[in-house]
Amino acid sequence: MVKRNKIKRIGVFTSGGDAPGMNAAIRAVVRTAITYGAEVYGILRGYDGMIYDDFIELKSQNVSNILQRGGTILKSARSMEFKTIEGRKKAFENIQKHGIEALVAIGGDGTFTGAQKFSQEFNIPIIGVPGTIDNDLFGSDSTIGYDTAMNTVVEAVDRLKDTADSHNRLFFVEVMGRDAGFIALNTGIATGAEGILIPEIETTVNDLKITLKTNLKKGKTSGIIIVAEGDQSGGAYEMARKVKEIDNSYNTRVTVLGHVQRGGAPTLADRILASKLGFYAVEALFLGKDNLMVGIQNNKIAYVPLENAIKHNSEIDHDMLRLARILSI
Ligand code: ATP
């Protein structure tokens, strides 16, 4: 048996954009901590709740029947005040007031940037759990919510393909991804999209025109172009407009999937990922680890310094883009 540090009370919170599976992670944190003999306090609305003293004790029964629900029972927020030292001081005073000795932060890169500062300034152990649909954190093959968001996109695009085909329409479908094209790339492959536009690679309207012309010659009169919201062309509306400008004969339509990608019941993959990461996050705290993000790499648990998780971007697999082009001819 590994020697465990004694921690009497843990705080857990969700922060930044919500992601399906966050509830499964909260449940795993609460039940693992209770099993190891600690109490758990949930902090509402992320760092804002820490500053405004919004804490609730979470017992095992408080997290029953939430595993399958999207969103986060602890609510989430983007806190401007936490970015100031005064805000973080207030947050720490409340943490101390409630006797919390360690924290589990569920969120994305912004959440971890704040966590890292907080941990260094006030010497409180923090473990990060990657919860973001963007999958843009270094150190975990997947982040909580990513799989669910992609499944939501695939379901929507499948529906759009039916109508695109019936009316010979060219659909530009905008998906989430301000800085990262993972959702666009994978859903593009999974739906057989004719074009995939991601922030990491510039696609000009001329590049797209060549693809569309080749398709037309082969008799493809409808199509799907998946556009990540952060694509360099300026998003789906902008690219559709540019295509129309070049050739007005295209029957274009734009669908922005927006926040539907954040909601819904987490998939099996996200439930398992969230359960594992919540469990290992608490285990890490009890093993005396600190300032790390827990991730899964090649099916194994991995610990990455929070600093690396934020600084190094997860990279797009360029071979996947090549594959997408070949398979959609
Ligand atoms: P997502 O990837 O889903 O957007 P995120 O965790 O990156 O999630 P952000 O809004 O970027 O979401 O960050 C969440 C919160 O973390 C911010 O509202 C803020 O309170 C805190 N935070 C972000 N950057 C900093 C910083 N430089 N210093 C202190 N706190 C920060």
pLDDT digits (tens, 9 = 90+) for 102-112: 999 999 999 99
197, 233 contact by CB (below 8 A): yes
Q: Let me know if residue 4 belongs to a domain.
A: no
Task: Specify the residue with its C-alpha closest to ligand 1, atom 13.
Answer: 110
Catalytic residue, candidates 48, 134, 136, 270: 134
**Alpha carbon of 82 to ligand 1 centroid (Å):** 9
CATH code where residue 225 lies: 3.40.50.460
Secondary structure letter of residue 43 according to DSSP: E
Calculate mean pLDDT across residues 240-265.
Answer: 93
Same domain (yes/no): 76, 165:
no
Total domain count for the chain?
A: 2
34, 63 contact by CB (below 8 A): no
**What are 53-82's pLDDT values in tens digits?**
999 999 999 999 999 999 999 999 999 999
**What are 209-239's pLDDT values in tens digits?**
888 888 877 877 789 999 999 999 899 999 9
CATH code where residue 65 lies: 3.40.50.450
The residue among 246 and 313 whose pLDDT is bigger is 246
Strand 39-43 and strand 55-58: pairing?
A: antiparallel
Q: Which atom, in ligand 1's list, is nearest to the CA of 77? A: 18
Highest mean pLDDT among 208-222, 286-300, 302-316: 286-300
Q: Which atom, in ligand 1's list, is nearest to the CA of 118? A: 29
Same domain (yes/no): 68, 86:
yes
Q: Which atom, in ligand 1's list, is nearest to the CA of 18? A: 3
Is 162 a catalytic site residue? Answer: no
pLDDT of residue 219: 78
Whether the pLDDT of residue 1 is over 50: the answer is no
| Sign of CA pseudo-dihedral 46, 49, 54, 55 | positive
**Residue from 22, 113, 138, 293 to probe ligand 1 pocket by mutation (most atoms less than 8 Å from CB):** 113
* Residue ranges around ligand 1 (CB below 6 Å): 15-17, 47, 78-79, 82-83, 107-111, 113-114, 117, 132, 134
Task: Specify the residue with its C-alpha closest to ligand 1, atom 20.
Answer: 79
Q: Which atom, in ligand 1's list, is nearest to the CA of 88? A: 29
What is the number of alpha carbons within 13 Å of residue 64 lying toward its C-beta?
A: 3
Whether the pLDDT of residue 201 is over 60: the answer is yes
**Alpha carbon of 110 to ligand 1 centroid (Å):** 3
Q: What are the respective helix, strand and coil percentages of the chain, to the nearest 5? A: 45, 20, 35
Same domain (yes/no): 27, 128:
yes
pLDDT of residue 4: 60
Q: Which domain holds residue 276?
A: 9-145+266-311
Q: What is the pTM of this model?
A: 0.94
The residues facing 172 across adjacent strands are 225, 254
**What are 122-144's pLDDT values in tens digits?**
999 999 999 999 998 999 999 99
**Residue 51 is encoded by which pair of tokens?**
């500053």
Q: Alpha helix (H) ranges present in the chain?
A: 22-35, 46-51, 85-97, 109-122, 146-167, 182-191, 205-217, 236-246, 268-286, 306-311, 318-327
Report the distance separating Cα 270 and Cα 260, nearest Å: 17
**Amino acid symbol at 39:** E
Same domain (yes/no): 168, 70:
no
pLDDT band at 3 (very low <50, low <70, confident <90, very high): low
Across the chain, mean pLDDT equals 93
Calculate mean pLDDT across residues 280-301.
Answer: 96
> Which residue, among 156, 282, 180, 297, has the nearest Cα to 228 in the 3D structure?
180
Same domain (yes/no): 73, 41:
yes
pLDDT of residue 324: 84
The residue among 2 and 177 whose pLDDT is bigger is 177
